Amino acid sequence: MENQFRAIIFDLDGVIVHTDKYHYLAWKSLADRLGLPFDETVNNRLRGVSRLESLNIILEGSDLADLPADEKATLADEKNEAYKKLLQAMSPADLSGEVRNTLQTLRERGYRLAIGSSSRNARLILEKIGLDGFFDAISDGNNIVNSKPDPEVFLKAAEYLAMPPEVCAVVEDADAGVEAARRAGMKTAAIGDAVRYGHGDWNLGTFADLIEIFR
């Protein structure tokens, strides 16, 4: 199966680098200000979905759930500004040697590599961790309308790579991302939280397992 692939598309948060703690702190700061409950259970529901959809999940069941769209946009921007401030603390030390070496090995084997992330801060994060300019294409929240599980972000990545979907594989840590890849007609390597759902074509114990899959 692996011999058919020519490109690998990676989700960013939770796959290449772990920014969950920064998202959590930024959302919790906003939720606390609004007097709304926010914990790890709520946070887990935000994996792989857009900023506005995440806000709607946090506002569910509260008096703020029916806020006008412009007011919701302002709240989402408040969270993003807090998140970006937290990201300033990131550095190349946040990229593990395992991930760096695996990516380099895959590149040396001739695979085209891309990012497929719902985040609008993907380029900032890549710059902070020392991967600015490393990927052949970046598809992120700035160039899509629909967030995962819609396949748009991965189809755009394939388009930017000039590759048909069937020769692209996706590495994802969110079940919504695995579903998005399936809808795009791509095989998926599940890692982290996505493994427990059992929907990936491969289930990774570690990021380095990709070296064995894509030989």
What pLDDT score does 3 carry? 65
20-87 belongs to which homologous superfamily? Putative phosphatase; domain 2 (1.10.150.240)
174 φ, ψ to 5°?
Answer: -120, 140
Work out the pLDDT band at 49, boundaries 50, 70, 90: confident
The residue extents of the domains of the chain are 2-17+93-213, 20-87
What pLDDT score does 47 carry? 79
**Average confidence (pLDDT) over 28-52:** 92
Question: Does residue 203 surpass a pLDDT of 80?
Answer: yes
By CB neighbour count within 10 A (0-12 exposed, 13-18 middle, 19+ buried), where does 46 fall? buried
3-class SS of residue 7: strand
Work out the pLDDT band at 1, boundaries 50, 70, 90: very low
The residue among 128, 132, 122 whose CA lies nearest residue 90 is 128
pTM of the model: 0.87
Give the count of alpha carbons within 13 A of 119, CB side only.
29
Angle formed by the axes of helices 175-183 and 152-161, to 10°? 60
Out of 13, 20, 173, 175, pick the active-site residue: 13
Q: Which fold, 2-17+93-213?
A: Rossmann fold (3.40.50)
Q: From the CB of residue 187, how many other CB atoms can be counted at a distance below 10 Å?
A: 20
Q: Would you call 11 a catalytic residue per the annotation? A: yes
3-class SS of residue 139: strand
What pLDDT score does 67 carry? 97
By CB neighbour count within 10 A (0-12 exposed, 13-18 middle, 19+ buried), where does 58 fall? buried
Question: Does residue 2 surpass a pLDDT of 60?
Answer: no
Work out the pLDDT band at 159, boundaries 50, 70, 90: very high
Work out the pLDDT band at 69, boundaries 50, 70, 90: very high
